[in-house]
Structure 1
Amino acid sequence: MCGICCSVSFSVEHFSKDLKEDLLYNLSRRGPSSSKQLLKSSVSYQCVFSGHVLHLRGVLTAQPVEGEREDVFLWNGEVFSGIKVEAEENDTQIMFNYLSSCKNESDILSLFSKVQGPWSFMYYQASSHHLWFGRDFFGRRSLLWHFSNLDKSFCLSSVGPQIPGEASQWQEVPASGIFRTDLKSASISKSVVLKLYPWQSVSGENVIKECVNSLIQVSADLPTFVSVVANEAGLHLKDPVVPLNRTLRQAPLEMPRGTIISVPPTRETLQMFLTDRHMKEVVQQFLEVLSLAVQRRVSCLPRDTNLTPSAALEMGARRANVAVLFSGGVDSMVLAALADLHIPLDEPIDLLNVAFATKEKTVLAGFNQKRKNQKSRYETPSKESSGDDATGGGDGGVDRRFGVPDRVTGRAGLKELQAANPSRIWNFVEINVSLEELQELRRARIRHLVQPLDTVLDDSIGCAVWFAARGAGWLVAHGDTGSYRSSAKVVLSGIGADEQLAGYSRHRVRFQTHGMEGLIKEIEMELGRISSRNLGRDDRVIGDHGKEARFPFLDENVVSFLNSLPVWEKADLTLPRGIGEKLILRLAAVELGLTTSALLPKRAMQFGSRIAKMEKNHEKASDKCERLKSFP
């Protein structure tokens, strides 16, 4: 994961060798392993490239990468499949090698059509003065652009600046395809023409319509000196996933014989579905493809391989390399259980569980002052660490302000995982956030990362994910409570499960009002807008800690498998909550040996963590959020 940036100027009086200090600082937080800047000047334009690398794979490769022909490449991505990258190789260098061998536009598009994994990139071809850039199909990596009317310049960056008022001028680069612009022509005409190479649509007859819609959408918020046009050759990227199965069920679902849907539902209810041979086979196939997606995301990481066996047995001797955003719900439980299959057994897994202080009167039941002050074997948080001493957790002393629903289900989920694999060290990290800390760090850091998104929902989710990913909190182990900060550089997120498997309440409403056809359209819309609604924001927020967000449910093979299924094999909303939504995932959880968590109804993060109750209780999620605004 990296922070990448390219600043382009067309007027000599505005040429600068450096980026603004606050933008460089935000980029460097994303890539603490290496920072490098490169200047490329022509007679009529100048490019400043800046790369900041978080080293996770192969040999550390500083960015920007420059070739013999003075081409420049910046890559913020992971190649999980599609093109071959050996375990000891670095995908940045492999991608640049492939790009350098491309002879034309078609070769470049063919390359990016093959890559499976999250990415955003910038590629400068010196000989042709062309600058290519874009994001992957789902927009799993952030990329922003900013166009200045003053000097007709523009900037591309993983993250925006912190200067009040300026951050709001940046917008997300749409995940509509790949863009190319001719910098030499732009410098002469004083206008920037962005040529779009869109993702190919489902059928040939829709390509033109989809391309026109993309152009209209992309052009809407751009200044007059910038235009977006279709590439002259009509070239496209190939969709990385199969189309959504739109088959409508002709006959009502036949329940397995003897099935009685109890309220509340039981694990036995789910097990009855698995007596159907076809359903069991589908669930097994889903588990296989999802398990492989998790494996690809937790492997090939720098690990402590030189510790002695005795040292490895000591508590805390091995660092966790992988963490899970963990609520104890079925999404995060399945990810944790699958990660357990693929991570070395002597390596801990961090379960990051965030809670925001509720307004009830604080009662510390039997909290042990001696335990609070004792030296623990864990790292002591810095001043910006979550919570004061009074927020320390543990079964022996619970601050009731943080007894939020996700904390309760998280602790229950921890017990399930411990029972499933008692040999694993499961680090359940209780991250407690007070109102004062939320307000201070939202103002200092989070609001700049959430922008250009600006709703109450963006505020709630952005803040919750930022604190969770930071991983600074309390760890309870062997009866001791210690302050702890997660060292994991990879953070697994369950995003994509609800969108594909009808997990939200709006899916049930749509099904009740418009039937199966309406539900299919809702699922299609959810996946279509996930790049602009969620993923850029989450990448910026998690990346701010020098960590990389990984989304197994959005693996191309997982999405293709789920898209190939008729909707009723993924979710059946004629069944009650806790069974019908995300049915296939609940059945997968049962197959993995999970118990209570397989039946938990969907609870949105902003409600489970109680951040939605901390400040203004009567806001709508879609309202513009005043707290995110930057004031001069």
Structure 2
Amino acid sequence: MCGICCVVSLSTRPPDSWLLKEGIEFSLRRRGPDSSQQLVKSVLHPPYHCLFSGHVLHLRGLMTPQPLEDPTTGNIFLWNGEIFSGIRVEVEENDARVLFRHLCSCGSKSDILSVLSPIRGPWSFVFYQASRHCLWFGRDYFGRRSLLWQFNEDRNSAFALSSVSSVSEMDSPWQEVPAAGIFQLDLQVCAMSKGVVLTLHPWQSSSSENGTEDAIIGDPGLLLKDLPSYVALEVNKHHSLVTPVVPLNMKVLEPLEETRFSDFANCVASVGILQRFLVEPLRKKLVHQFIAVLSEAVKKRVLYVVRDTNQFEGEMSENVLRRPHVAILFSGGIDSILLANLADRHVPLDEPIDLLNVAFANPNEVGQNNSSQKRNEKRQWPRSECRNNADMAVGDPLSCFNVPDRITGRAGLEELKALSPSRSWNFVEINVTLEELKTARKQRISHLVYPLDTVLDDSIGCAVWFASRGEGLKTHQGVTRPYKSPAKVMLTGIGADEQLAGYSRHRICFKRDGFEGLNKELRMELGRISSRNLGRDDRVIGDHGKEARFPFLDEGVVSFLNSLPVWEKADLTLPQGVGEKLLLRLAAVELGLTASAVLPKRAMQFGSRIAKLESSNERASDKCTRLQSGSVEDFSTQGSKPLQKKVNYTADSFLQTSLTAEGEDLCS
């Protein structure tokens, strides 16, 4: 994963340092702590300048600093992504370099789009094609990697792209680049017209049969309605990309056929109900197919990461061997526990897996003096000291963190231990006080959530930021110690609810409009996931120098689920805890999971109790005033220092910087 940035000046002057002064450079370095460098490309007639800034988190192949520059063609490349398939990448190769080599061999628009279309995996990129004076950029079909843009009519820097931005009232607003296709910017045309003219090459889905219809690509006119008036947009449907997933099956049943789905309508949620479904041979076969495709998606995401073994040949210690490389945002609910179970299949057995479980203490639920005492006691624990688990009774300072997700998380841990006793499972209890929350929001999280700004964005953004930071307590053999997860890869369960009718609003929709209405709702959910969830979550998790990976949004998984009629995925006539995400629950039972298979959906903001901390009379869709008061300067003054051309920076000085305070659902 990387932090990438490109600033374009359409004048005789190169881009100024306004962008770097806002702390954006510092945020980019946090995303890519292993290498940082930049370069400027200048053309005199007609005049334009492009500043490229790349910050690398090394995860695959040989360490490859960015931006990449080809000395023969003059092309430049910034890549923030993972190629899981579509282009051959050998184990020892770096996917950014392999893709850049392919792009440099392209001569036409069609060639470039033909290279990008078959790629499977999350990505955002910026590619400067010197021969045509073109800037190409975009995000993958689901928008799993963040990319923002900003237009400045009155500035020397007319156009900017960045993985992250900063809350500021001084400049034009940042917006998320729509995941509608690949954008092309002819820099010569822009320089001569002194304006920005964008060409969009959209995702196109071919028509299909058997009750299915085209996947929603989105109306570019609606997606780009917030562009300034001085930005022109053209949509080129003659040169487009092919959607990476099959269209959603929109087949519905006749009213008389729907009655067969009410046999268990009044039953209490239980594993027994799910086991009765698995007696059906066709249902069992379908469950096995789903397990296979999801397992393959998890496999790619836990194995495509550089492990330390080759770096310590001949002197490898037990600590190095047992360093976790994969963590899971873990509540003990059905999504996260199934990902953990499948990760156990593929992660080397001598490597621990971190289960990150976050909880927020509500000061209103404990006595004020006692709460203060608890916080002080927690602060006074030296890193070198440990604590016996026997002390952690009802009156323990940590009892206020026994929120619903902590309880189900511990229960889920016991299930995983029973199924895989040889695995070392690191259950990390991440405890957050109100003071810590406020400090982190002001200094970091408000800038990462931006440009999103609702109460829901605040709750989820804060919960995910603390969870993915991975700083908490780990209990081993009855002894509890402070612990910080070193894992760079974070698995999250986002995408399961959107495809398998996991939200309560899906039940409301089904009762009102039946299968037809539910199909439309699910299609809309997946169509908006790039702008509603994924850019935000990528920015928040990436702030810790870690990479979010989304197995439920693997192209193979989405295509498999899209091919099924909706009643094979969810039966909302069944009770809560069974009917929603039915296929997922059946898979869990088939894999040996029990109690977690019938847990009802609980959104992260409620399970972690962050939603109860500050205001109880807000609606999720309200604009959140708490996100408006951020100050990135409080966090670091290093963000204003400009990078030197072609000079690498070491990550250590930036990784040592930390906060002054200690330290809609992702994994339900």
TM-score when scaled to structure 1? Answer: 0.92
> How far apart, CA to CA, are the structure 2 residues paired with 1:506 and 1:168?
35
Aligned to 2:63: 60
Aligned to 2:9: 9
Q: Taking structure 1 as reference, are residues 376 and 208 closer, same or farther at Cα in structure 2, changes over 3 Å only?
A: closer
Aligned to 1:279: 283
Aligned to 1:20: 20
Aligned to 2:351: 347
Aligned to 2:532: 533
Contact 1:168–1:452, Cα closer than 8 Å, also in 2: no
2:96 alignment partner AA: T
Alpha-carbon offset, residue 361 of structure 1: 1.1
What do the CA deviations read for 1:82-116 (whole angstroms, capped 9, x no partner)? 11111111100010011111121111111111000
SS of alignment partner, residue 628 of structure 1: helix
Alpha-carbon offset, residue 440 of structure 1: 0.7
1:621 alignment partner AA: A
Q: Taking structure 1 as reference, are residues 134 and 395 closer, same or farther at Cα in structure 2, changes over 3 Å only?
A: farther
Equivalenced residues, count: 615
Alpha-carbon offset, residue 15 of structure 1: 3.5
> How far apart, CA to CA, are the structure 2 residues paired with 1:253 and 1:351?
41
Alpha-carbon offset, residue 252 of structure 1: 2.9
> How far apart, CA to CA, are the structure 1 residues paired with 2:401 and 2:138?
41
What do the CA deviations read for 1:412-454 (whole angstroms, capped 9, x no partner)? 0011111111111101000011001101110000001001001
Aligned to 2:103: 99
> How far apart, CA to CA, are the structure 2 residues paired with 1:500 and 1:346?
34
SS of alignment partner, residue 179 of structure 2: coil
Q: Taking structure 1 as reference, are residues 374 and 234 closer, same or farther at Cα in structure 2, changes over 3 Å only?
A: closer
Contact 2:448–2:536, Cα closer than 8 Å, also in 1: yes
Counterparts in 2 of 1:183-582, with a 5 A limit?
A: 183-203=187-207, 214-231=219-236, 234-250=238-254, 251-252=257-258, 254=260, 263-305=267-309, 318-358=322-362, 359-361=364-366, 376=384, 397=396, 399-582=398-581
Q: Taking structure 1 as reference, are residues 309 and 506 closer, same or farther at Cα in structure 2, changes over 3 Å only?
A: farther
> How far apart, CA to CA, are the structure 2 residues paired with 1:157 and 1:113?
22
> How far apart, CA to CA, are the structure 2 residues paired with 1:15 and 1:371?
45
Contact 1:167–1:451, Cα closer than 8 Å, also in 2: no
> How far apart, CA to CA, are the structure 2 residues paired with 1:204 and 1:41?
47
Within the candidate set 171, 179, 183, 2:183 is matched to: 179
Q: Taking structure 1 as reference, are residues 407 and 485 closer, same or farther at Cα in structure 2, changes over 3 Å only?
A: same
> How far apart, CA to CA, are the structure 1 residues paired with 2:235 and 2:385?
59
1:292 alignment partner AA: E
Aligned to 2:147: 143
2:230 alignment partner AA: F
Which one scores higher on RCO, CA 8 angstroms, separation ≥ 6? 2
Contact 1:294–1:339, Cα closer than 8 Å, also in 2: yes
Contact 1:30–1:545, Cα closer than 8 Å, also in 2: yes
Contact 2:4–2:163, Cα closer than 8 Å, also in 1: yes
Alpha-carbon offset, residue 219 of structure 1: 3.2
> How far apart, CA to CA, are the structure 2 residues paired with 1:360 and 1:41?
60
Aligned to 2:645: none
Contact 2:265–2:573, Cα closer than 8 Å, also in 1: no
Contact 1:393–1:474, Cα closer than 8 Å, also in 2: no
Q: Taking structure 1 as reference, are residues 227 and 491 closer, same or farther at Cα in structure 2, changes over 3 Å only?
A: same
Alpha-carbon offset, residue 519 of structure 1: 0.4
What do the CA deviations read for 1:468-508 (whole angstroms, capped 9, x no partner)? 00000111110001000000000000000000000000000
What do the CA deviations read for 1:124-177 (whole angstroms, capped 9, x no partner)? 011111000000000000000000021360100101135x32577100000000
SS of alignment partner, residue 629 of structure 1: helix
Alpha-carbon offset, residue 235 of structure 1: 1.5
Contact 1:165–1:631, Cα closer than 8 Å, also in 2: no
SS of alignment partner, residue 127 of structure 1: helix
> How far apart, CA to CA, are the structure 2 residues paired with 1:552 and 1:501?
14
Aligned to 1:32: 33
Q: Taking structure 1 as reference, are residues 167 and 88 closer, same or farther at Cα in structure 2, changes over 3 Å only?
A: farther
Alpha-carbon offset, residue 185 of structure 1: 1.0
Question: Does structure 1 residue 126 correspond to structure 2 residue 130?
Answer: yes
Q: Taking structure 1 as reference, are residues 361 and 308 closer, same or farther at Cα in structure 2, changes over 3 Å only?
A: farther
Alpha-carbon offset, residue 12 of structure 1: 2.7
2:9 alignment partner AA: S
5+ long unaligned stretches in structure 1: 381-388
What do the CA deviations read for 1:56-102 (whole angstroms, capped 9, x no partner)? 00001110001121100100000011111111111000100111111
Aligned to 2:620: 621
Please tell me the root mean square deviation across aligned C-alpha atoms, in Å: 3.0
1:9 alignment partner AA: S
Alpha-carbon offset, residue 629 of structure 1: 1.1
Counterparts in 2 of 1:146-157, with a 5 A limit?
A: 146-151=150-155, 153-157=158-162
Contact 1:165–1:630, Cα closer than 8 Å, also in 2: no
Q: Taking structure 1 as reference, are residues 305 and 208 closer, same or farther at Cα in structure 2, changes over 3 Å only?
A: closer
5+ long unaligned stretches in structure 2: 632-668
What do the CA deviations read for 1:269-319 (whole angstroms, capped 9, x no partner)? 1111000011100010000000000000000322232679998766x8621
> How far apart, CA to CA, are the structure 2 residues paired with 1:240 and 1:377?
51
1:446 alignment partner AA: I
Q: Taking structure 1 as reference, are residues 137 and 6 closer, same or farther at Cα in structure 2, changes over 3 Å only?
A: same
Contact 1:450–1:540, Cα closer than 8 Å, also in 2: yes
> How far apart, CA to CA, are the structure 1 residues paired with 2:354 and 2:619?
33
> How far apart, CA to CA, are the structure 1 residues paired with 2:559 and 2:568?
14
SS of alignment partner, residue 623 of structure 1: coil
Aligned to 1:384: none
Contact 1:160–1:167, Cα closer than 8 Å, also in 2: no
Alpha-carbon offset, residue 11 of structure 1: 2.1
Alpha-carbon offset, residue 208 of structure 1: 12
> How far apart, CA to CA, are the structure 1 residues paired with 2:314 and 2:570?
46
What do the CA deviations read for 1:575-611 (whole angstroms, capped 9, x no partner)? 0000000000000101111111000000000000000
Q: Taking structure 1 as reference, are residues 23 and 401 closer, same or farther at Cα in structure 2, changes over 3 Å only?
A: same
SS of alignment partner, residue 12 of structure 1: coil
> How far apart, CA to CA, are the structure 2 residues paired with 1:396 and 1:342?
40
> How far apart, CA to CA, are the structure 2 residues paired with 1:406 and 1:145?
36
Aligned to 1:386: none
Contact 2:79–2:96, Cα closer than 8 Å, also in 1: yes
